[in-house]
Every structure is written in C-alpha cells, then in structure tokens.
Chain A
C-alpha cells in the first residue's frame, strides 16, 4: 500500500519539540552514510541531538541496520551493526547469561546511540560509561568519506572523541563491545523510602558502597523539611541460588495512544503522582528478587509515555553537581528548582563515579540530577537559572537531554570543548557532519 506522499515535515527528539526534517531509514549504513549529515538511532535523545541542522532536512535512520556480526559465547564479545537496539540485545542475551556492561534507563536505544551519548547507568560509580569504558572497536564513516576502525588502542584520539561525541565525529557503522556474564537473569534489589535530602545523600553513599546498581527518585515538589524526600533503589544480579532457576516472564506493556491534552499534566497532577508514588512504597524498606525490566527500565512499561506532555512537548534537564559543591550544592539546586515552581513529574538522582575518558562524556564525580519539565514560555528562563547555578558549582549538563542551553553557557561549563573542536578540525574541518544541537551549542555552520 505504497503512498508516495511528501515526507512528513517534521522530526523531533523524545521531548516532542519538532524541527523541519525527516529520517531516511536504511539497512545498509555503509552505503547510506556517504554524504549524510547525521545518523539517528531510535530518537531517544530528548532534545535536538539527533535532528538535522537548519539548512538540511534529512538524517540517516540506523535502526534497520541491526545485524549481529559476531558473538563469542566464551568471552561475551559481540560485534553488531550500529542500529541494533538494546531491547533486542537484552531479549536475546539476558536468558543466555549476558548483559550489557552499562545500560541507560531505557532499552529503546541503539548501540550507535549508546556510544554517541557515551551513556551511563545506575552502575556508573563502578561500571563507568558504555562507550569509553567498554567498547573495544568502532567502525566509522568519517566526513571525508573514508571508513576508519578505531578503539582504545587504535586511533584512540578519534575513538575517545566519538564516545560521547554525539555523532559529530563520524557515522557509527559497527560497534564491538564486551557483554558481562551474569549469574542469573534476575536482580536482587533493596529499596527504601527516604525522608529528606540529607538522608538521601547519606543513603546514596551507603547504597553505592553496597550495590553496583543504584538510583534514586526524588519528589522535587516537596519543600521545607521534606525537601528531597523520595525512594532509593539498589540492586545486584541475583545468584543462581537466589533466583532458583525461575524463568523470566515477558513484560506486559501499556501504550499511550495519542498526545494528551496539555492540561492533563499540571502542578496538581504532578503533585498527586509524586505523593502516591512516595507512599505506595510500603513498608519503608523492601528487599527481594526483581525483574530486570522493572528494575532498569520502569518507564519502558509505558510505550510513548512522552505523549503525556501533549503537543507542547517537554525537555529533560540533567546536570551533575560536582563532589566539591557537596551536599550544600545539591540543596541549593533543589531550593532553586522548588522556589521557581519547576514542577517536575519525575526527578531522578544518582551518584556518579570518576570522569570517563570520552572527551565529551557527561559524568564526573558528584551527584547527577535529572528532571522532566514541560515546555512553557518560562522553560528557557528556568533552564538559564539552573545552568547559572551549575556553572557556578563547576558542573555540566548532559547533551543527550538538552534543548534549551545557550551556547555561551555551554562553553562556560565545558572546558574540554576546544580539544573536541581540534579533533573535529582534523577529521571534519568543514563540519559536514553536524546536528541541530551542534549548530546551537558548538557554533557549527547552519
């Protein structure tokens, strides 16, 4: 039933803030990447990371290029085309005793996207980042048309610029990474209700010392003595004895079928949701076996959940507040947020380990905070204010989430930018490969 209508006019990130453009899907990245301005995976970057620059209309969609090219059951080393999704990888290998060394909070991402954002996960304090700490080889189509293999020991400069480089150093064609052997497909988890921000920071440290996977959710609408209350989640892979060979059931999924009207998500409903979520956790502490889908990907249970924000769209603000700023820095950040009525439906907090080798990788030692904010006329001012605070504390934002940061602010929080630009000068002096985001933040030509 082929209808050759004009292409859909707009393309958006996960936050549903569209720009003119469309994606061209291809199974053959090697051919399709010639001359392409940018590659795009499953479009889970919240902002404009995977959108075409203003003067272009087409990005290369990689998700059909999803073949596994080699897998060694002895070592867990896998090589695959860049469009393979983490969902597919988990579906195939979790039951066979392997798991990705690092997973973000959704499995609807591609391997190429995971490298480009150098994603981190609940295990950042021990596991580092996906690309710079675990990927062994990348096959890239660089701007001059050549194909280059790189890795930590081969063209390392290009490799570390690509991990976290948001796809700006070349089109990622293939990814080789070592999967982790796991004792069972179940998680043994512990979760706890936390009364306030001081308790939270102390408990984060406690959990991080005891568990490889730790993440917290904060009710960032509560103020005063209850400011920073929330739930803390820790876990590790269950041993074979603990899981007792129990098979993993399939995860049922709901779907949000259409954009909700804008009024559905407001301060009152966000407050109600956060209140219920907090008190639903009974008793105060829970321990036991958890399904990995529920543990790692709670939001994946609801497909298209971004539609609850309606047509106005939303952005995620994620920053890291460095260790040096201490608990005081985190408190100041939350006070600024709650004071400005930055009603966030969801606010996630975690402890970050050492800075990765990826030239533009997001994490650094400190506390990472991520919050969803509906797009309104006040959003720009809120992001500017939060950025001001983050810059003052010496922190930075996560490019994969960003839509609103200004170029000047980005330069102030990213001293590594000059080195990144120098490497791009070597591989792509004309900036043939660029994105809507790189035009906005890196000063690339439109």
Chain B
C-alpha cells in the first residue's frame, strides 16, 4: 500500500507510519518542521525491511496553501496515493483555552476547519483514482460534550460528523473513510497529563488503526475498550454530566 501521512513526525502519526513501513508498505511523510521530517524519514527507512528511502514534504496544518503542493509531492514520490492518514492536530487544555481565547481560536481552526480542508484535498485525489482510504484521527472527546474538553471536543465532534457524512456520500464511489477515535494514548501530546484508566500505548493503538485501514472499518475506537466507555458516557443523563468532573 502507498500511504501519505500528515503528522508522522510525532506521537500517533509516528507509530502508524512505523507499523506500515515495518510490514513493507511505502509511506510519504508530511509535516511542519524540516528537521523533524528528515529525522522521521531516516527512522522509517531504518525500520523498512527493504531499507528503501522515505520521502517527505512540508505541510503546515496552520496554512492551507501548503496542502495541495504537499499532496502533489506525495503523488509524485509514491507514483500513486492509495491511502491518506491524518494524525496532525494541536492540543491545549480547557483551562488554557478559557484563559486565552486566541489559543481556542487556533485550536478550532486547525483541528476542525483546516483538517476538513485538508481532507477535502485528499478526498478529491482519492476519488480521482477511483477510490482509496482516508483515515483521520478524531477523538473520543467528540462523542459527548464534557467539562474538561469543551473546545477540543467540539472541534473533534465537528470533524467526526464531517467524516461520517463523507462516508455516507462517497462509499459507493470507493472512498473508505476510517474515523479513529483514540481514548487517552501516552504520547508527547498528552505528556504532563495524568493517564486515566485504560490509557493506551502508541504501538498497540497503531496496530489497531492499521487493521482498521486494511478492513475499511468506518469507526475505530482505540484502545478498544473506549467504545464501551463512551457508550456509557453517551447514555449518562444530563444531571449526571453536570455533577461529575469528566
């Protein structure tokens, strides 16, 4: 499989890229910092059984003008893009964003608006070749409005809805949309936060995500138990949600 990954330099994107490369898939990495991209590409090359060089291009989730050239570079390098994975996002705590509305605005713009715009570019490329897989990291935070993740959750809820509708509209044309809803995963993004019960390790989550890409599963919770945790949380009555801390 030939895969372009936005956000492969860090955390979950790094883990997914490794999982793919180690089993022999070809990847192209997109990210914001040239130095990080070079190091990530070297890491993936060393892990690849064929020791094949891994291409990379700049793509800044904060700057939509970089999206089309970056995806074009991926197409040129891989020859054909069969799958696009999006793990890039920013994170800030609810308190930080309540204190600074600028940070809230930036998070909503990157994690919702710009992510959707990037997906629109990717969708067109995949549909033009007769289909393919678009795998995007949303979050369990988007499954229910909750106190600690009001703004982050809102962005992810919007993203999940967009992806769901994309699947409804384009499934018949061969587009497989995989919405990943990670629970807490111990990555650089969550470093400094206290892991709740059922926190996942990046490699295990990545393995599950790659399985979902292979099967074309529309929604995947990772670690798997979060599906049941969120099922309960979605059904909790409002008076309970007002009382509890999460």
* Contacts from A to B (Cβ < 8 Å): 1-8, 24-28, 61, 64, 67-71, 73, 78, 92, 96
B246 within 8 A of A: yes
Query: Chain B nearest CB: distance from A175 CB in Å?
Result: 14
- Are the CB atoms of B42 and A70 closer together than 8 Å? yes
- Name which residue of chain A comes closest to B93, CB basis: A4
Residues of A within 8 A of B196 (CB): 1, 3
- Are the CB atoms of B194 and A27 closer together than 8 Å? no
- Name which residue of chain A comes closest to B92, CB basis: A2
**A2 touches which one: B14, B40, B148 (CB < 8 A)?**
B148
Q: 0/1 per residue, B214-246, Cβ < 8 Å to A?
A: 000000000000100000000000000000011
Given A64-B188, A73-B51, A4 and B194 touching (CB < 8 A)? yes
- Name which residue of chain A comes closest to B49, CB basis: A96
**B187 touches which one: A3, A4, A24, A64 (CB < 8 A)?**
A64
- Are the CB atoms of A68 and B46 closer together than 8 Å? yes
Residues of B within 8 A of A3 (CB): 148, 193-194, 196, 245-246
Q: How far is the CA of A432 from the CA of B38 in the complex (A)?
A: 32
Given A2-B149, A26-B188, A64-B187, A8 and B51 touching (CB < 8 A)? no
Q: How far is the CA of A4 from the CA of B11 in the complex (A)?
A: 19
Q: How far is the CA of A278 from the CA of B196 in the complex (A)?
A: 42
- Are the CB atoms of A2 and B193 closer together than 8 Å? yes
Query: Chain A nearest CB: distance from B227 CB in Å?
Result: 13
Q: Which of A3, A68, A69, A71 has the most CB of B within 10 A?
A: A3
Residues of A within 8 A of B22 (CB): 92
- Are the CB atoms of A2 and B191 closer together than 8 Å? no
Q: How far is the CA of A2 from the CA of B42 in the complex (A)?
A: 32
- Are the CB atoms of B47 and A92 closer together than 8 Å? yes
Tell me the total A-B contact number using a CB cutoff of 8 A: 72
A-B contact pairs, 20 of them (CB 8 A): A1-B149, A1-B246, A2-B91, A2-B93, A2-B141, A2-B149, A2-B184, A2-B190, A3-B194, A3-B246, A4-B93, A4-B194, A5-B194, A26-B188, A64-B188, A64-B191, A68-B42, A70-B42, A73-B51, A92-B46
- Name which residue of chain B comes closest to A7, CB basis: B194
Within 8 A of A (CB), among B186-219: 186-188, 190-194, 196
Query: Chain A nearest CB: distance from B88 CB in Å?
Result: 14
Q: Which of B40, B184, B194 has the most CB of A within 10 A?
A: B194
- Are the CB atoms of A68 and B43 closer together than 8 Å? yes
Q: How far is the CA of A252 from the CA of B14 in the complex (A)?
A: 26
| 7 cross-chain pairs, A with B, having the tightest CB-CB distances, nearest first | A67-B43, A71-B46, A68-B46, A25-B191, A27-B188, A1-B184, A5-B194
- Are the CB atoms of A67 and B40 closer together than 8 Å? yes
B171 within 8 A of A: no
Residues of B within 8 A of A7 (CB): 192, 194
- Name which residue of chain B comes closest to A71, CB basis: B46
**A1 touches which one: B14, B47, B51, B140 (CB < 8 A)?**
B140
Q: 0/1 per residue, B26-43, Cβ < 8 Å to A?
A: 000000000000011011
Residues of B within 8 A of A71 (CB): 45-46, 51
Query: Chain B nearest CB: distance from A143 CB in Å?
Result: 23
Residues of B within 8 A of A78 (CB): 46
Residues of A within 8 A of B14 (CB): 67
Residues of A within 8 A of B7 (CB): none
- Are the CB atoms of B194 and A8 closer together than 8 Å? yes
Q: How far is the CA of A3 from the CA of B196 in the complex (A)?
A: 7
- Are the CB atoms of B194 and A1 closer together than 8 Å? no
Residues of B within 8 A of A67 (CB): 14, 39-40, 42-43
Residues of A within 8 A of B11 (CB): 27
- Are the CB atoms of A4 and B95 closer together than 8 Å? yes
Query: Chain B nearest CB: distance from A257 CB in Å?
Result: 13
- Are the CB atoms of B191 and A24 closer together than 8 Å? yes
Query: Chain A nearest CB: distance from B89 CB in Å?
Result: 13
Query: Chain A nearest CB: distance from B141 CB in Å?
Result: 7
Apart from the given pairs A2-B149, A25-B186, 19 other A-B contacts in the complex at a CB distance below 8 Å: A1-B196, A1-B246, A2-B93, A2-B152, A2-B190, A3-B148, A3-B193, A4-B194, A5-B194, A24-B192, A25-B188, A25-B191, A28-B188, A61-B191, A67-B43, A68-B42, A69-B43, A71-B51, A92-B46
Within 8 A of A (CB), among B53-102: 91, 93, 95
B109 within 8 A of A: no
B103 within 8 A of A: no
Query: Chain A nearest CB: distance from B230 CB in Å?
Result: 9
**A69 touches which one: B39, B141, B148, B226 (CB < 8 A)?**
B39
- Are the CB atoms of A26 and B141 closer together than 8 Å? no
Q: How far is the CA of A6 from the CA of B194 in the complex (A)?
A: 8
Residues of A within 8 A of B45 (CB): 71
- Are the CB atoms of B42 and A69 closer together than 8 Å? yes
B183 within 8 A of A: yes
Q: How far is the CA of A92 from the CA of B21 in the complex (A)?
A: 12
Given A3-B246, A67-B40, A26 and B191 touching (CB < 8 A)? yes
Query: Chain B nearest CB: distance from A138 CB in Å?
Result: 17
Query: Chain A nearest CB: distance from B163 CB in Å?
Result: 20
- Name which residue of chain B comes closest to A84, CB basis: B43
- Name which residue of chain A comes closest to B33, CB basis: A28
Q: Which of B42, B93, B245 has the most CB of A within 10 A?
A: B42
Query: Chain A nearest CB: distance from B233 CB in Å?
Result: 9
